[in-house]
Structure 1
């Protein structure tokens, strides 16, 4: 299993358009970036590739990292930075099976699969496959399992991707607060690689309208506002889930350069062989 981190940033990416903050400037000087979230998973046994979330930066990511176009995709939730790249299936792909959760979201009245179907109904190359959380399905020679996480007000899902031949496992937390349900934590545990949502250091919670939540014993917030983990929360969850390796993803440009480019904070183009 060859994992390429195509996009490791939040909804604006780093460098952020029109921003000359220290972190955006450092990213430019280092020639690194964090585009909107997406992960490419290649099955070297079958020659197939699975795309986890379809970033609006799809074209740039695939040209930059020179990976194969996907044979299938999984969508974690319906925010544009994880979904809108699906439009790139037009003229590029003969077909693209897209897997997404089948649970109805009270906030929208439809499931993630329903939203993908309705939003991209003009693309006959895209076929949507509704899947139930915790019920493993097969695609690209992998076993994939969706798990609910906590990303209010919308439903959102993490997932695991396993190679049944080798046992290699990628776990993705999805966009989430620290309040990941226990049964989801159990599914995400003990992976070879964990990609865990961490948007800013906890010290920046004072600037969020909702502050910080899910504090640890020392009073450090593990959730920034309500939707994403702090760096401290992401690292705490990684310590609990005990992967072989982990990286913080969905990172914003608000941390300092020292914080933003720490060893465990992902940048685009990183590759892992599991």
Structure 2
């Protein structure tokens, strides 16, 4: 299993357009990027590849990192920074299966699968495959399981991707608070590599209108506001899940320069071969 981090940033990315903060300036000077979120997973056994989320930066990411176009895709939720890159498949693919959860979202009255099908009904090449969370489905030779996480007000999902032959396992928290349900945690547990949402350091909760939640024994918030984990929350989740290796993703440019590119914060283009 070869994992390429195409996009490791939040909704504005780093550097952020029009921003001259120290972190964005340093990213430009060092040639480092965190574009909008997307992960490419290649099955070395079958030669197939799977794309998790369709970043608005799809075209740029694939040209920059020179990975194979995917044989299938997964959409974790319907926020634009994870979905709107799907329009890039126009005239690029002959056909593409896109998997998304089939649970009805009480906020929208539609499932993620139904929303994707409706928003991209003009793309004849895309076939949406409604997928039941917590039940594995075989995609590109991998066993893939969507797991509910907590990203209000919309339904959102993390993922466990396992190679049934090699035993390699990749887990993605998805966009989520620390309040991930127990059953989802069981499925995500013991990965070779965990990609965990860590939008900002915990101390930034002081600047959020609703502050922080899910405080650990040390009193440090593991959730920033309601939707995302803090860095400290993501690291606590990695410990909970007993991850072999962890990379922090969906990162905002608000990380101070002295912390912005420190381990284990990821940047675009990182590649991992599982198991190593």
TM-score by length of 1: 0.99
1:150 aligns with 2:145: no
Q: Secondary structure at the match of 2:103?
A: coil
Q: Secondary structure at the match of 1:196?
A: strand
Unaligned segments of structure 2, at least 5 residues: none
Instruction: Give the equivalent residue in structure 1 for 2:125.
Output: 125
1:209 aligns with 2:209: yes
1:29-72, CA deviations, whole angstroms, 9 ceiling, x for partnerless residues? 11110000000001111111100000000000000000000100
1:21 aligns with 2:16: no
Instruction: Give the equivalent residue in structure 1 for 2:222.
Output: 222
5 Å matches for 1:1-274?
1-274=1-274
Q: Cα RMSD (Å) of the superposition?
A: 0.6
Q: Secondary structure at the match of 1:116?
A: helix
Q: Secondary structure at the match of 2:24?
A: helix
Alpha-carbon distance in 1 for matches of 2:119, 2:138: 24
Shift of 1:260: 1.4
Unaligned segments of structure 1, at least 5 residues: none
Alpha-carbon distance in 2 for matches of 1:27, 1:208: 25
Q: Which has the higher mean CA deviation after the structures are superposed, 263-272 or 214-223?
A: 214-223
Alpha-carbon distance in 2 for matches of 1:157, 1:73: 14
* 4+ residue runs over 2 A deviation: none
Q: Which has the higher mean CA deviation after the structures are superposed, 64-73 or 23-32?
A: 23-32
1:234-254, CA deviations, whole angstroms, 9 ceiling, x for partnerless residues? 000011111111100000000
Q: Secondary structure at the match of 1:28?
A: helix
Q: Secondary structure at the match of 2:170?
A: strand
Q: Secondary structure at the match of 1:233?
A: helix
Alpha-carbon distance in 1 for matches of 2:262, 2:107: 36
1:131-183, CA deviations, whole angstroms, 9 ceiling, x for partnerless residues? 11111101111110000000000000001111111010110000000000011
TM-score by length of 2: 0.98
Alpha-carbon distance in 1 for matches of 2:109, 2:92: 32
Alpha-carbon distance in 2 for matches of 1:188, 1:30: 34
Alpha-carbon distance in 2 for matches of 1:238, 1:30: 29
1:67-96, CA deviations, whole angstroms, 9 ceiling, x for partnerless residues? 000100000000000000000110001111
1:196-228, CA deviations, whole angstroms, 9 ceiling, x for partnerless residues? 000000111111111111111221111000000
Alpha-carbon distance in 2 for matches of 1:219, 1:171: 27
Shift of 1:259: 1.5
Q: Secondary structure at the match of 2:39?
A: strand
